[in-house]
Structure 1
Amino acid sequence: MIKKRSIIDVDAPNASTGLINGRSSNILNWDDVRFPWAYPKYKRMLGNFWTPFEINMSKDIKKFPALTEDEKDAFLKTIGLLALLDSIQTDYAGKVADYLTDSSLNALMIILAQQEVVHNHSYSYVLSSIVPKSKQDEVFDYWRTEPSLRERNDFITDGYKGFAEEPTVDNLLRSIVYDVILEGLFFYSGFAFFYNLARNQKMVGTSTMINYINRDEQLHVGLFEKIFKEILTENPEYDTQQLKDFGTAAFYKAAELEIEWASHIIGNKIDGLLMPDLEAYIKFMANKRAEQLGFEAPFEGHRSNPLRWIIAYQEVDLGKTDFFEQKSRQYTKTSDANGFDEL
């Protein structure tokens, strides 16, 4: 079992003796922390700060009624899906934070949870702009009423429950695999849908907001990747072939569920977004994410991004007004470190 972090430990050092099951005073001094990568992560996450109020939705209000019925359906159901997953993610981040001995990583997890709250607020903000309250309530209940959402959502929630109910090292490691699936794979067909609308000059405000969320999620995936690898470094007895097999199988199953969802909600019904390309994109992302955690890629081939146009919606020069023409956005320049090349 993993021990919960102490509120204060007067005899322990500020820099923790271990990521989990270690000792720490629980006093956060960024100049006295265990992991040298924690402070740069902290700065990056703060640099991403945003709120939904910054996004001008006036054009989307006019554009939404002009969408096709298939586009409206995909739009609302995808928002409903994201609202559920980010709600779960907020709670999961808090549970993980309770068991991280290191105070700097606990702080990062709290920031991550706060960002997930902002993401969920953004979905309410979008819906309140374009549909009546009754429809907004309906969308936020899709997780109860849409059978197509249940299996893929249960896949994540059941994985999280294992750690929440029995906080062992193995269950924490497995829950992180589910986290990377949620934040680094399950959102991605939805992101592609919104970016495709934007390149057709539809719902540009919403797509701007999705771009902010996408940037946050990439940082979150990177943080959990670091935590996953540090746990295995400190506890090598858990770096087993069984864990590797589990990881590859989990990403394979997750990709299947994401493809099934995309076929149901997008199919070949959305102009400019072909299902064969989207399926290949999902398999490409599943391979990338599995390998990030040190697992074998679940799919043979799929080494290049078939939706290269997505990159143009995220690689924005520092300080320039972005292509959405919403406002000036101070982006970090793209590099190998920030993950944009993976899209």
Structure 2
Amino acid sequence: MSEVLLEKAKTLEPRNPNKSTALFGGKSSGILNWNDIAYPHWYKMYKRLVGNYWQADEVNMSGDVRQFPALTESEREAYLKIIGLLSTLDAPQTRTALLLSLYATDPSVQSIMAVIAQQEAVHNESYSYVLSSVVSLEEQNESFQLGRKDPVLLRRNESLEKQYNKFVEEPTIENILRTLVYTSLLEGMFFYSGFAFFYNLARNNKMIGTSTMISYINRDELEHGRFIAELFRATLAENPEYNTEEICSWVYDQFKESVELEMEWSHYVLADIEGIDLDEMNGYIKYRANKMLRMMGLSEIYPESVNNPMKWIRAYVDNFDGTKTDFFEQKSRQYSKISDLNGFDEL
């Protein structure tokens, strides 16, 4: 198949229709009327995203400041390594969301990606905020160097790094699809062993401020993952020539490889953490992979992991906003702003 490099979407082209003719590579005026978009339900996604607005310094870290020195050495080490991991993953997400929006000819995608990019920037700021609360500047800087130096983390991120950079060099429909796959992996699976560590601390009444911050980030990532999965499906539907056995096999291969790397990372960073069973963590990673595959319209690849083996984590994550879908399962700990799109019956 001959690959055509996409041009960046025009900022304003009044001769084209307001409703885009395609998500990528189509025509649109650049004028966004939310009442006249190709995928109307994405307006609700946009509203949920902007309803999640928060800032890092809203979280009180005073308790964590007192508790951090009392953590075990293994917990302190894992805390710093996992913050290093999360910052390594979130930093490029801001840029990747903006790059995708540059080539999106649907203005609703551009707007949603702008919100996602802003939220990823807040996530990255929050990691600096929590570290500055509990450790010295030297230790903060060391934690943020992990993404450049730690061999396990470098190996874990290698495939993602290659695909993200390939999209920059070759902006094609195929590379957009492949980048969306890795973004789904990142938003829906790569973070989750790290999130589990902080939730495990919280269920033992440790580092509650950090856990609260992670919960806000987690709520955002659930929404990001849901939108990215839908964008993947819609882009594939609009470009059926890419809906091939080869592409499908590639997606499954990336998920399998990523699951193995995520399990390796979790064993590396969580081996000595009391309260986390590494066999359960393996199952939880596979469970997250199955969920993301289902959301992308694909089949599960781990039939033994269709249920969450770490049920205690539901109190912190699976249903932050009470949305009645398979992806969100339990009652929320936080309320979004009320509107006619997330009315009182949703809370």
User: Above 0.5 in TM-score?
Assistant: yes
Aligned residue number for residue 45 of structure 2:
41
What is the CA-CA distance between 1:285 and the residue it aligns to?
Answer: 1.1
Tell me if 1:336 matches 2:328. Answer: no
Tell me if 1:306 matches 2:306. Answer: no
What is the CA-CA distance between 1:340 and the residue it aligns to?
Answer: 4.1
Aligned partner letter, 2:233: K
Aligned partner letter, 1:272: G
Aligned residue number for residue 274 of structure 1:
277
| Deviation sequence 1:56-101 (CA, Å, 0-9, x none) | 0000000100000000011000000100110011111111001110
Tell me if 1:156 matches 2:166. Answer: no
Aligned residue number for residue 216 of structure 2:
212
What is the CA-CA distance between 1:295 and the residue it aligns to?
Answer: 2.7
What is the CA-CA distance between 1:294 and the residue it aligns to?
Answer: 2.5
Aligned residue number for residue 289 of structure 1:
292
Give the whole-Å Cα distance in 2 for the aligned partners of 1:334 and 1:230.
21
Give the whole-Å Cα distance in 2 for the aligned partners of 1:42 and 1:202.
34
Give the whole-Å Cα distance in 1 for the aligned partners of 2:280 and 2:215.
21
- The secondary structure found in structure 2 opposite 1:301 is helix
The structure 2 residue matched to 1:145, chosen from 129, 145, 149, is: 149
What is the CA-CA distance between 1:14 and the residue it aligns to?
Answer: 1.1
Aligned partner letter, 2:234: E
Tell me if 1:31 matches 2:20. Answer: no
300-309 vs 332-341, which deviates more? 332-341
Give the whole-Å Cα distance in 2 for the aligned partners of 1:81 and 1:51.
21
Map residues 124-273 of structure 1 onto 2, 5 A cutoff. 124-267=128-271, 269-273=272-276
Percent of residue pairs bearing the same amino acid type: 46
Give the whole-Å Cα distance in 2 for the aligned partners of 1:294 and 1:28.
28
Gaps (5+ residues) in structure 1?
317-330
What is the CA-CA distance between 1:300 and the residue it aligns to?
Answer: 3.6
Gaps (5+ residues) in structure 2?
331-347
Aligned partner letter, 1:172: I
Give the whole-Å Cα distance in 1 for the aligned partners of 2:177 and 2:32.
25
| Deviation sequence 1:253-291 (CA, Å, 0-9, x none) | 000000000000002x11110111101111111122122
Verify the 8 A CA contact 1:248 1:296 in the aligned structure 2: no
TM-score (norm 2): 0.91
Give the whole-Å Cα distance in 1 for the aligned partners of 2:291 and 2:306.
8
Distance change (3 Å), C-alpha of 1:177 and 1:315: closer
Verify the 8 A CA contact 2:322 2:328 in the aligned structure 1: no
Q: How many residues align?
A: 326
Give the whole-Å Cα distance in 2 for the aligned partners of 1:164 and 1:106.
17
Give the whole-Å Cα distance in 2 for the aligned partners of 1:241 and 1:277.
32
Aligned partner letter, 2:273: I
Distance change (3 Å), C-alpha of 1:338 and 1:296: closer
Distance change (3 Å), C-alpha of 1:315 and 1:10: closer
TM-score (norm 1): 0.92
The structure 2 residue matched to 1:18, chosen from 10, 17, 22, is: 22
Give the whole-Å Cα distance in 2 for the aligned partners of 1:93 and 1:16.
19
290-299 vs 162-171, which deviates more? 290-299
Give the whole-Å Cα distance in 1 for the aligned partners of 2:318 and 2:191.
19
Verify the 8 A CA contact 1:2 1:99 in the aligned structure 2: yes
Give the whole-Å Cα distance in 2 for the aligned partners of 1:101 and 1:315.
33
Aligned residue number for residue 121 of structure 1:
125
Poorly superposed stretches of 4+, deviation over 3 Å: none
Verify the 8 A CA contact 2:259 2:286 in the aligned structure 1: yes
What is the CA-CA distance between 1:332 and the residue it aligns to?
Answer: 3.1
Verify the 8 A CA contact 1:18 1:102 in the aligned structure 2: yes
- The secondary structure found in structure 1 opposite 2:304 is coil
What is the CA-CA distance between 1:3 and the residue it aligns to?
Answer: 2.6
Aligned residue number for residue 74 of structure 1:
78
What is the CA-CA distance between 1:337 and the residue it aligns to?
Answer: 6.4
Give the whole-Å Cα distance in 2 for the aligned partners of 1:338 and 1:206.
24
Q: CA RMSD in A?
A: 1.4
Aligned partner letter, 2:199: Y
Aligned residue number for residue 51 of structure 1:
55
- The secondary structure found in structure 2 opposite 1:192 is helix
